[in-house]
Amino acid sequence: MKALVTGISGFVGSHMAEFLLDQQVEVIGTIRNRSRMDHIEHIQSQIRLIECELRDPFSVETLLAAEKPDYIFHLAAQSFVPTSWNSPVDTIYNNVAGQLNIFEAVRRLELPAKIQIACSSEEYGHVEPHETPISEDNPLRPLSPYAVSKAAQDYLGYQYFKSYGIHVIRTRTFNHTGPRRGEQFVTSNFAKQIAEIEKGIRPPIVSVGNLQAKRDFTDVRDIVRAYWVGLEKGEAGECYNIASGTCVTIEEMLNLLLSMSTISIEVVPDPSRMRPSDVEILLGDASKFERQTGWKPTIPFEQTMSDLLGYWRERV
């Protein structure tokens, strides 16, 4: 069994690689010459890294023709919502073209690979109060270029399954976090600020954006297990919500982090952290995936946040 992980040096990719190694799977991963390697240094001797530019069809086809992986976990993406307002064209192109190049290569080479694609709860976008918890049947009303790029990836997954029978599993993942989360994302950003305050390298003030948004958080280690069981047991062409089924406001998440610190910290709004339009609530119904695969999240949110704060305390 050989698995290819695109974006292996990223947050989810590095956890995916660790999980696959535990399953005794041969792991290969794509990197670019500018990829950061610190998340995978500890497993570098056990995986094989291949330089591949996913935007380049030749690069992707050469890789897939040579390696013929059984499973593909397509995690590489421009994944930060605010960046997608600053560079909408790049976000759409990067996320859509990268996936199309994989699909086209798999189709042309007639590979029997199973492919998991990282779609997102952001696709649901504007959600009415009566529509929660959100099921897969909810309309998609994306509110950012990032969300549109993920909706396009999602529908292309459907279309390539219908048109060519490619075994695609579309995972619509709600928010996820844990150690190694990129510092621009809210959980990591707040945890890092608190760790810096504790070290005395920042005044005791946490800068924040919209604290009223509600998000459904799952630990990244539960998420990568979901991606694995998705390919093992999911039905080709289907989309599945991956979520915990509970949600917190960003303020509640911040208060949880603050309660783990003994320092008295002031919370100050920073207008530059506000978005042109923010998704108010994401609360997922993952029962379709749970019924199909038996998956359930196991790591409590408090544990995830404590591990994340511990991660930053060791690093700042």
- The least CB distance from residue 303 to ligand GDD, in Å, is 19
- The least CB distance from residue 38 to ligand GDD, in Å, is 19
CB neighbour list of residue 150: distance below 8 Å, 6 or more residues apart = 95, 119, 120, 122, 123, 142
- The least CB distance from residue 109 to ligand GDD, in Å, is 29
Place of tokens 């009223």: 212
What letter represents residue 111's amino acid?
L
81 binds ligand GDD (CB under 6 A): yes
Burial class of residue 134 (count of CB atoms within 10 Å of its CB; 0-12, 13-18, 19+): buried
From residue 200 to residue 239, the character string flagging contacts with ligand GDD as x (rule: CB under 6 A) and all else as - is --------xxxx-x-x------------------------
SS3 (DSSP) at 134 = strand
Buried b (16+ CB within 10 A) or exposed e, 252-286: ebbebbeeebeeebeeeeeeeeeeeeebebbbbbb
Burial class of residue 70 (count of CB atoms within 10 Å of its CB; 0-12, 13-18, 19+): middle
Angle at 156 between CA 35 and CA 169, to 5 degrees: 75
Of residues 105 through 144, those in contact with ligand GDD by CB under 6 A are: 120-122
- The least CB distance from residue 179 to ligand GDD, in Å, is 15
CB 27 within 8 A of CB 45: no
Q: Which is nearer to ligand GDD, 69 or 179 (CB)?
A: 179
From residue 256 to residue 295, the character string flagging contacts with ligand GDD as x (rule: CB under 6 A) and all else as - is -----------------x-x--x---x-------------
Q: What is the distance between the alpha carbons of residues 161 and 76, in angstroms, rounded to a whole number?
A: 20
- Residue positions counted in the chain: 316
19 binds ligand GDD (CB under 6 A): no
94 binds ligand GDD (CB under 6 A): no
Q: Which is nearer to ligand GDD, 47 or 308 (CB)?
A: 308
304 binds ligand GDD (CB under 6 A): no
- The least CB distance from residue 182 to ligand GDD, in Å, is 8
- The least CB distance from residue 70 to ligand GDD, in Å, is 26
Query: Going by DSSP bridges, is the β-strand pair 214-215/218-219 parallel, antiparallel, or unpaired?
Result: unpaired
- Can you say how many angstroms the Cα of residue 255 is from the centroid of all Cα atoms in its chain? 24
Q: Which is nearer to ligand GDD, 81 or 113 (CB)?
A: 81
Window contacting ligand GDD (CB under 6 A); options: 54-62, 184-192, 237-245, 293-301: 184-192
Q: What is the distance between the alpha carbons of residues 37 and 91, in angstroms, rounded to a whole number?
A: 22
175 binds ligand GDD (CB under 6 A): yes
- The least CB distance from residue 111 to ligand GDD, in Å, is 27
Q: What is the distance between the alpha carbons of residues 146 and 198, in angstroms, rounded to a whole number?
A: 34
- The least CB distance from residue 264 to ligand GDD, in Å, is 20
Closest CA to 227 of 304, 116, 115: 116
* Interface size with ligand GDD, residues (CB under 6 A): 22
List the structure tokens of 174. Answer: 């709600």
Give the binding site for ligand GDD (CB under 6 A). 79, 81, 120-122, 174-175, 184-186, 189, 208-211, 213, 215, 250, 273, 275, 278, 282
